[in-house]
Structure 1
Amino acid sequence: MADGKFSKRDRVTIDPFKIRIALSTRFEAPTKTVVNVLRGNDDQVTLKFEEGPRRSEIINESKAFTAELARFAGRPWAPNNPNPPTPDETRALQNAAAAFFLRIFRHKTDDLTVARVNELRYFLDHKNLIGINFDSDVPGIPLDALHYGALGAAVDLQRFIGARAPIVHAPRADNDYPGDQESDLRIGFLGTNGVQSVRLRNPDGIFAAFERLKIPGERVHEETPLRDPQGIVMNVADIHALFRAWAQYRPIWHITSHTQTRAGQPVFVLDNGLEVRADFLNRQQGARTFLGQPLMFLNLCAGTQSGIVDDTNFPDSLNQLGAGGVIATHCLIHDRFATHFAERFYSHALSGELSVGKSLFRARRDSLRNDGTLASLCYSFHAMDDFALPSVPLPDAQETARSA
């Protein structure tokens, strides 16, 4: 407040507000990033950063940083043996995250950058921040895992951007907002037994997690893990069968597999050997495949990575096919932690109290406090807007896990 009057900054932050970050590139010109701080439809503060890295540089730096993040997310993990990073390792990742943040949010001279970044830090630190929307024409930037503190500062997990507020990554293609979701909750599942957590008899696996949460749904066959509404096992033998499966209503599709690369394109593999490539999905964009705009949870390694064909990636392709939103990871992640984190997420998202974005934020915050790992920072939510899932009555015992 100056001279007894509220500044524009004070007016915007006096009530709950959101931040919209838009990053754009053009050929090999410097990246431009515009930050809008919004309170309702009235007040707005705009911060412009006009001297970021060139497109090729930002892609390479993003890949280098996600590789560093993978060293944390991919390390062995178990609830009773979290194998936490050392303070020096955590500090090294925080510095890498802060350096990448400062590369993106750069404005002309060093002095101007410092002043503008300090303004942005003010808004990111503010108690009334309730959400962040990220719109970028460069896919795969792990904004959730970036750190807005100073380089060399003491470790502060709360200044990783994903620990500050729910974040929604906008897909690069136009998509309708998800409409009201039907109340019937059945989770469609696709995966491979090559992933330990998929095996039905594994007490630490994803089906055991669904059973603990008492999520209603079809019994899943171990070899071909998808059944139709009548309980008949579906043979997803080719990409067309996959689209027919996805044309059935499921508010959630949960996919657990290993990510591989074929001809420069990201691929996940189903049990029958079907390789699902992001660019194959992209070729089907003339038709809207999904019924009811479901949430797609890609609980597999590096689900946001781009291929060499037009930066094709799974979040963009699935949103083009009519998904309401996509949760995916930026890097390698340990199987057991991936299942544990999914259970944390669903315990919030199916409670009827929180949206998808807020549930991911709450699960990440819980994990950072209790799981002895930074792996939750590699998850991100990609959608045109946040939305809620149908709710189910959660068992009383789950309340303890949710608050842990």
Structure 2
Amino acid sequence: MLKNVKCARCVKCGKEYEATANLTNCSCGGILDIIYDYDYIKKNLTKETLKSRPNTMWRYRELLPVEETTPDTPLRVGWSPLYEEPRLAKQLGLKKLWVKDDGQNPTASLKDRASAMAVAKAGEAGAKIIACSSTGNAASSLAGNAAAAGLKTFIFVPERAPKGKVAQLMTFGANVISVKGNYEETFELSKKAIDKWGWYNRNAAINPYLSEGKKTVSIEIAEQLDWKMPDYLAISVGDGCTIAGVWKGLKDLYAIGFIDKLPRLISAQAEGCHPINRAIAENKPWEPMEENTLADSIAVGVPRNADKALMAIRESNGIVVNVTDEEIMAAQKLLGTTCGVFGEPAGVTGTAAVKKLCEQGVLGANDTVVSVVTGNGLKDVANAIKFCGEPMSLPNDLDLLVEEFAKRGIKTEA
């Protein structure tokens, strides 16, 4: 029995369940939400006690649904850097801007937070095999975190998954199934296989604990800002689990009195696949969309966590922004040249949205913003090279180098 958790509650029908290690969806099909005992947490967690704890996501144990005896997972997950970026803030016309580089997690994405939670809960359930479907990052993060814990994995990815992510999977020793189809078909095959063989389910739309792992990114941001919250927090959105987790973490902190303000969420999706944002903009139930974007990690035409995501955006009085692939790649270059942060296309979509809102005059000189980069650019170098171009290629000849510099208008002085 978890001392800090009251129950798991369905977001659709309100039915409550005991928070056992192998929870899945409600009998009505709704996703479960973990309900905490905030009075218990207030008595057992203070800002002072955090100061002596290791810099990983597990420093927030009182706010996480794990048993006291459950060990921290082996890889160092969490406590990624939060950079204040005054030059980029000035360029965009913002009062203050911070960039949270979550691509510095062990397998280079925010998804490590969810996968570490899955490994911890699988251990509590006595499971030896974990499985999931993923467009790439959830897959590689699960494979890496499970390998470190000595667990076997079965991973289902759509055939369009970037080679960098597939290379991680194979290196981590996962059993990888590349599905000839889109993410929806990939998810369906993984679901059937999990049901058939009884593997522990890491799919974020099924396992309610995963967004609890992801929420640590917003708890970290709050602590790194000394509990003084920004006006806005921008995050890229695919199936909806991450933005739901971000909001859950902020609400948890507000409930225990660690913060006195909740930021507005900026939900960033690709123009070629934005079913969640469209539902908000049109105030209608979400409908499936085609997956037409190079930002593979958020190319989810049938979002499995839409209910929680929509609730988060609405509760926060959030803003929905759709950006084109060109705007996404321009944001990748902008982050690289001004901040030295290399994010993958899906990882920089939040920043692309912030830039667009600044250009539209929605955000301006009085606003403070945190933009979360959810994955590292080395996961998809093909698109980065395609957008930025190839390097100069020359023989060992200084005269030719001078000539090439002149041709390209390159200045050799600062």
- After TM superposition, the score normalised by the length of structure 1 is 0.23
Q: Please, what TM-score do these two structures have when normalized by structure 2?
A: 0.23
Greater share of helix = 2
